[in-house]
Structures are given as structure tokens and as C-alpha cells.
């Protein structure tokens, strides 16, 4: 489909067995026929209890013909450190595929996604499952509302929401996103949350490929 329709597709996230271990993985399918994947890093108590899902250990940055992006699967967006790492690697858009069963769960993802957009001055896009699967244990009900969030400043859309769908309805939203506007906002915005981090006061360190990295 990515090749046929000449678009880049993030195919949600899916349980995948690799080396006899179960992971939750989101796949990126590029319009040129290549693909890549992001492993979910933070596993929910429900995923551990019902399926024994294993965690990934690396935040990847994906190069696309529209710029660098990152994927944080559902629960991962609720941990601000991951977004900091992704943006420090150059991500300008963070995609958040999710699966929540009620409005409270969805709002956790939504509010954290909005915070990540403001903290890092990037676009964050959320989407999830709607509808019911009554015969599948722990996947029987769903709640979501697709939305595209922006930094909260005068250059962007009112309420820092570029577009959003009708709650819990199967539909599609779209929006043109100006990547240069992110750069201008970081340099001249009324607040500059990325540049104004007090890096001499605190720091974020993580391990990647056996090396300690500092953000």
C-alpha cells in the first residue's frame, strides 16, 4: 500500500514473536518500499499479565523523505525521557499508536502526548483503536480519538491542536505540517522549552549499544 499510494505508513503496533519472545512492535513502511520497526520499551502491567510481552531497549530515529520521525508506542509517551532522547536525535514528529480500553486510559496518552509536544517543541500525532472485539480477552473494548498536537504558541493552531477526530469514531484526519515553523518557534518563540533546559543543573543519561549517552 505504501508503494501503491506513494505514502509513508505507520502500521499501528502489533505483537510479534522473535527468538521465542513476544514483543509489541510498530512498523514504518516507506513509500520507497523499505521498512523499519520500533519496539515498545515500557510494558504495561496488563501486557505483562496477559501475554508476557518483553520490552525493547532502544529509541530509533527514522529517516523519511519528509524528515526525521520517532515512534513511541502508547505507554511509552507517558515517560518524558524517551521523547527527550528522540528529539535529541533529531526527531521533529513523534507518532504515538495506542490501544486503550476507556476514556481515562486514552486521556493519559493524550495529555502526555500534548505535554511532549510543548516540552520538546515538536509535533506529536496520536491514534488508536476504536470498536469492540468481544471474543478477545483484554481486547474486547476500545476508546480513542486521533489528534495532531503542536507546540503551544501564537504561530500554531488554537489550543495547540492542529486537527482531531470525533471521539471513538472510525475516521481519518489530515493536516499539513510546517517543519520550518518548528525551527522558528525554537529560535524566536515566546517560550523556548527545548533551548532553555538547564543542562548544567540536571542531565539525562541513557545507554545505547553499550555506550552511555548524555542528553
**pLDDT for res 137:** 78
Cα distances (Å, whole numbers) of residue 8 to 4, 12, 16, 27: 11, 13, 21, 11
Secondary structure letter of residue 166 according to DSSP? P
Q: pTM for the complete prediction?
A: 0.95
pLDDT value at position 71? 98
In the chain, the N- to C-terminal Cα span, in Å, equals 37
Q: Which residues pair with 178 in a beta bridge?
A: none
Nearby residues of 45 by Cβ (< 8 Å), 6 or more positions away = none
72, 48 contact by CB (below 8 A): no
* CA Rg value for the chain: 17
The residues of the chain scoring below 70 in pLDDT are: none
Q: What's residue 209's pLDDT?
A: 86
Which helix (H) or strand (E) segment holds residue 4: the answer is helix 2-5
- Euclidean distance between CA atoms 94 and 151, whole angstroms: 12
How many domains does the chain divide into? 1
| Confidence (pLDDT) at 136 | 82
Structural domain of 168: 2-214
CATH of the domain at 41: 3.60.110.10
Residue 74 confidence (pLDDT) = 97
pLDDT reported for residue 53: 97
Question: What's the pLDDT score for residue 138?
Answer: 76
- Write the pLDDT tens digit of every residue in 71-108: 999 999 999 999 999 999 999 999 999 999 999 999 99
Amino acid at each position: 500500500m505504501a508503494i501503491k499510494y506513494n505514502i509513508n505508513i505507520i502500521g499501528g503496533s502489533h505483537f510479534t514473536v522473535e527468538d521465542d519472545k513476544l514483543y509489541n512492535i510498530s512498523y514504518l513502511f516507506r513509500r520507497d518500499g523499505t521498512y523499519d520497526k520500533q519496539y515498545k520499551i515500557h510494558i504495561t502491567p496488563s501486557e505483562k499479565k496477559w501475554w508476557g510481552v518483553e520490552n525493547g531497549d532502544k529509541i530509533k530515529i527514522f529517516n523519511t523523505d519528509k524528515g526525521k520521525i520517532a515512534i513511541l508506542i502508547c505507554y511509552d509517551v507517558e515517560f518524558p525521557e524517551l521523547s527527550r532522547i528522540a528529539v535529541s536525535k533529531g526527531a521533529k514528529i513523534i507518532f504515538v499508536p495506542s490501544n486503550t480500553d476507556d476514556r481515562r486510559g486514552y486521556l493519559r496518552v493524550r495529555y502526555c502526548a500534548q505535554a511532549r509536544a510543548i516540552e520538546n517543541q515538536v509535533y506529536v500525532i496520536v491514534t488508536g483503536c476504536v470498536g469492540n472485539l468481544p471474543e478477545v480477552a483484554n481486547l474486547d473494548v476500545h476508546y480513542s480519538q486521533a489528534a495532531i498536537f503542536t507546540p503551544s504558541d501564537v504561530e500554531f493552531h488554537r489550543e495547540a491542536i492542529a486537527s482531531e477526530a470525533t471521539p471513538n469514531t472510525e475516521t481519518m484526519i489530515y493536516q499539513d505540517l510546517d517543519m520550518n515553523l518548528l525551527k522558528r518557534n525554537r529560535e524566536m518563540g515566546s517560550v523556548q522549552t527545548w533551548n532553555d533546559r538547564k543542562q548544567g543543573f540536571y542531565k539525562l543519561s541513557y545507554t545505547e549499544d553499550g555506550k552511555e549517552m548524555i542528553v
